[in-house]
Chains A and B, each alone.
Chain A
Amino acid sequence: MQIEKLSIQELQRRIALYDDETAYKELFMEMHVPLINFSRSFVQQKEVAEEIVSDILMTVWEKRKDLERIENLRVYLYISVRNHSLKYLVKQKKINSVQLEDLDVMLATSNLNPENLLISKEMVQRVRAAIEQLPPKCKMVFQLSKEDGLKYKEIASILNISVKTIDNQLAIALQKISKTLKLSLKKPDQKKI
């Protein structure tokens, strides 16, 4: 059982119905960092990412009367960031499309310290390296699931891939990371029986 953070849904309702500025600030505080990291995976530069996220959150306030029509605001924000970031790339690089495989995923891997993980410093370095070396799609799924706490369904609509792919990619990520920990899974010898 876990205490949930003040839900996005609750903030959304308060902004839409009562023009609640405190709720809006809270929404900003909650979403700013994950959205920026997400945008940076596409656009690379922090300043550009910040501008994109700021524009999107601005629209949320401007169009707050329509906010109640959005079913899942968190997912909506990620998708908006994805679209804006892609638009920026297309404009900048004069390219027509961007594949998930081309992304340079920005990781915000917190919690990578030896005391927390009960493993040695070297091991932590290896875990970090292993995460960095994951293929982009895998890394993105890992980031959205672990750091941003999104559900499979939500990640699926944000990245426009199937839930099954996410299921597999995350399992692959864990397997690869644990390999660096030399945590191969073996059945114990069953001599005694």
Chain B
Amino acid sequence: MQVERIWLLIARKLSDEASMEELKELDMLIRQYPDSHFSLEVFNRLWEKDEEVDPADLEDAYARHLNRMAEKGIHFSNGSDDTSYMIEQAPRRTGFRWLIAASFAAIITVAGWWLLREPKQTTVLAAVTAMNEITTPNGSKSQLRLPDSTVVWLNAGSKLTYPKEFGKDIREVTLVGEAYFDVKKKNNMPFIIHTHRMDIKVLGTTFNVKSYPGEPTTEASLIKGSIEVLLKDRESAPILLKPWEKIVVREFSSATVSSQKNNAAIKEDIKEPEVAIKPLGYDETNDAVLETAWVENVLVFNEMNFSEVTKLMERWYGIKIQIQNPALFKQQLTGSFKNETLDQALQALQFVVDFDYERTSPRLIIIK
């Protein structure tokens, strides 16, 4: 009976159909039947995906498919009209395009505001500012490809918005949270990312942007190519980043305001500069760049406070963590998690920091 139950549970686990209780049950059964651990391991590996399809074969099949469509008279432009037009644009017009983009955005905003006051016109409004919005909840990530073939990995608890007309005249997205961009180069058409504290303009590069609401810093980390960072709320020339550099911008306006009110005490708190250019971090154990390790499914923390680490874990695992013992807050931690389950991760932390935890519900951890 139990043996059959193990196979049923292993099958469910592999197909991602097992509930949390069933996973726990399987864990217990495997402890009773240690042999099953090896078969689970073999099946786990058998279940892993590896792409064996030859992309050239697929391209051929696609070409045959398009031919058949053409024979049947189904219209499909296959990139023959609008894209080639883009490439023929003269390079000098880039600056002008920016201006057009900016004024166009202004028109949309004004039109949007005006139309909003006219309830009858709301359908028009929707047509003008139609946006695509991709969100990832805590505990999950997603990868998406924009119409221009730029690939974006969206980290947990993040949101990416882009106009439905994306890529026709301008390439602009708005990011809340964290994302890793692999931007396809497109002649004369820069790619712009708007965040709360900075705008980033690029041509074709790979980089990471982190801008979570409620966090004191916004970061952009460059892997290759070059990016131009324009800080909001302050007058400065665009900052150019080189590969393996990152820019860190600290929340400054609120701090400045409050420091004027009750002067000295708070001023001392501001140790970090408002804007800093730093080298990217490197994690030897995982052979990974700290800033982008999350793309490879590694959660890395380097000399972080315990409370910051738990905040990361909340997003990573999609849970809430309450720390009841304030003495724990400032404990410094360095480490990484890869395939650890939440319990394994917490147990690993217990090796370094002295605490007890209790899982009061599937989504709430109390740390004492």
Contacts and interface: CB of A to CB of B under 8 A. Distances in A.
A37 to B, nearest CB: 11
Contact of A146 (B32, B46, B142): B46
Chain A interface size band reads: 35 or more
Given A20-B147, A171-B11, A174-B43, A3 B50 contact: no
A161 to B, nearest CB: 15
A185 B49 CA distance: 26
Interface string B148-178: 0100010010000000100000000000000
Given A6-B144, A54-B68, A174-B43, A110 B33 contact: no
Interface stretch (A76-84, A87-95, A116-124): A116-124
Contacts, number: 148
A47 to B, nearest CB: 11
A61 B46 contact: no
Nearest to A23: B147
B58 interface: yes
Interface string A43-55: 0000000100010
A66 to B, nearest CB: 15
A21 B79 contact: yes
B256 interface: no
A171 B15 CA distance: 11
Interface in B1-21: 3-4, 6-8, 10-12, 14-17
B269 interface: no
Interface of B: 3-4, 6-8, 10-12, 14-17, 32-36, 38-39, 41-43, 45-53, 58, 61-62, 64-65, 68-69, 72, 74, 76-79, 132, 134, 139-145, 147, 149, 153, 156, 164, 295, 297, 316-317
Given A146-B14, A174-B43, 11 more contacts: A1-B139, A14-B132, A21-B76, A32-B62, A54-B65, A58-B72, A111-B46, A116-B46, A167-B8, A171-B4, A171-B11
